[in-house]
């Protein structure tokens, strides 16, 4: 597969708890069941994507921190973990990643560490989906520098809606300074509960706001307890419960993402 066919996708939102990791794990797994080869990269020291895929961190494992802190000593192909599911691979995180910001502060090319580290492997996949921490740290900048697209989960809640403006400003700044090729793949409303007025109201506002409407996915991810339960069980929801709303929603988001192919509606 030619490397330029690989879709390099950051899942990002500086706001915490909006469903970034759930999207990385569950969308990645949904795509894998649909025959796509998927690499999930966990760039969050909280390592929730790593544990959400049922992978326990142990010390002799090469992880993403090793790749960006000591690039001359490690190869990304040695860090790949094959998960229990076909087509779904992982570059695991490590809690030490939280120190990378300080350690790399005076290092040359520090924004491009991840991009350089994964360059040799990305071409083997249809999708590389990268989880980010809830902050605009050097880790997130590294992800924006290697990605071509940003997928934005937005909780259907007033604070998350208001925070979108700052996120879009950040993405513009990254485009100007670091990665002119970066585009917004879409905004996926998350934690949607049609029974609450505030949820319906925020979804309406997202769909009618000129700044965002062209990016908003038709399928919101509904609140679904199977999503939280599956992450606790270390399994993507598509493998945890085939018929729950969480599985339906992530499969629908995957289908929409294939159709959109990086373009605005």
CB 88 within 8 A of CB 115: no
CB 118 within 8 A of CB 41: yes
Instruction: Please select the residue that binds Mg ion; options are 6, 13, 21, 230, rule is CB under 5 A.
Output: 21
18 binds ligand ATP (CB under 6 A): yes
3-state helix, strand, coil in the chain (%, to 5): 50, 15, 35
186 binds ligand ATP (CB under 6 A): no
**Which partner from the list Mg ion, ligand ATP, none does 83 bind, CB cut-off 5 to 8 Å by kind?**
none
In the numeric block, which tokens belong to residue 148?
A: 């071509």
Residue 143 and residue 140: Cα distance in Å, rounded?
5
Nearest to 93 by CA among 137, 40, 135, 157: 40
* C-alpha dist (Å) from residue 132 to 18, 28, 80, 180, 257: 12, 15, 18, 20, 19
Three-state secondary structure of 205-224: HHHHCCCCHHHECCCCCECC
CB of 190 to ligand ATP, least distance (A): 6
Instruction: For 225, list phi and psi in degrees, rounded to 5.
Output: -65, -25
Residue 183 and residue 181: Cα distance in Å, rounded?
6
223 binds ligand ATP (CB under 6 A): yes
Longest dimension (CA), the chain: 54
Which is nearer to Mg ion, 139 or 202 (by Cβ)?
139
Q: Sketch the per residue contact string, 106 through 145, with ligand ATP: x for CB under 6 A, - otherwise.
A: ----------------------------x-----------
Q: Which of residues 191-220 bind ligand ATP (CB under 6 A)?
A: 191
**If binding means CB under 6 A, how many residues of this protein chain bind ligand ATP?**
19
Please give the radius of gyration of the chain, using alpha carbons only, rounded to the nearest integer.
17
16 binds ligand ATP (CB under 6 A): yes
221 binds ligand ATP (CB under 6 A): yes
**Which partner from the list Mg ion, ligand ATP, none does 223 bind, CB cut-off 5 to 8 Å by kind?**
ligand ATP
**Which partner from the list Mg ion, ligand ATP, none does 248 bind, CB cut-off 5 to 8 Å by kind?**
none
Which is nearer to ligand ATP, 1 or 228 (by Cβ)?
228
**Which partner from the list Mg ion, ligand ATP, none does 228 bind, CB cut-off 5 to 8 Å by kind?**
ligand ATP
Instruction: Please select the residue that binds ligand ATP; options are 8, 9, 12, 22, rule is CB under 6 A.
Output: 22
20 binds Mg ion (CB under 5 A): yes
189 binds ligand ATP (CB under 6 A): no
Chain residues that interact with ligand ATP, rule: CB under 6 A: 16-22, 44, 46, 48, 134, 190-191, 221, 223-224, 227-228, 231
């Amino acid at each position: 597969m030619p490397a330029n066919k690989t879709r390099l996708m950051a899942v990002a939102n500086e706001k915490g708890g909006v469903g970034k990791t759930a999207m990385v794990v569950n969308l990645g797994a949904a795509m894998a069941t649909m025959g796509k080869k998927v690499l999930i990269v966990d760039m969050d020291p909280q390592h929730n994507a790593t544990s959400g895929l049922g992978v326990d961190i142990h010390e002799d494992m090469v992880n993403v921190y090793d790749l960006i802190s000591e690039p001359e000593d490690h190869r990304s192909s040695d860090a790949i973990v094959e998960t229990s599911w076909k087509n779904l691979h992982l570059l695991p995180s490590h809690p030490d990643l939280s120190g990378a910001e300080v350690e790399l502060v005076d290092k040359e090319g520090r924004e491009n560490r991840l991009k350089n580290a994964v360059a040799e492997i990305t071409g083997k996949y249809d999708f590389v989906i990268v989880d980010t921490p809830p902050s605009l740290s050097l880790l997130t900048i590294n992800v924006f520098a290697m990605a071509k697209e940003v997928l934005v989960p937005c909780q259907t809640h007033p604070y998350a809606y208001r925070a979108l403006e700052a996120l879009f400003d950040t993405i513009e700044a990254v485009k100007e300074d670091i990665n002119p090729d970066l585009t917004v793949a879409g905004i996926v409303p998350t934690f949607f509960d049609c029974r609450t007025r505030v949820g319906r109201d925020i979804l309406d506002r997202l769909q009618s706001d000129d700044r965002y409407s062209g990016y908003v996915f038709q399928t919101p991810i509904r609140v679904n307890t199977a999503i939280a339960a599956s992450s606790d069980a270390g399994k993507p929801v598509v493998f945890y419960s085939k018929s729950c709303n969480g599985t339906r929603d992530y499969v629908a988001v995957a289908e929409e993402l294939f159709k959109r192919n990086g373009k605005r509606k």
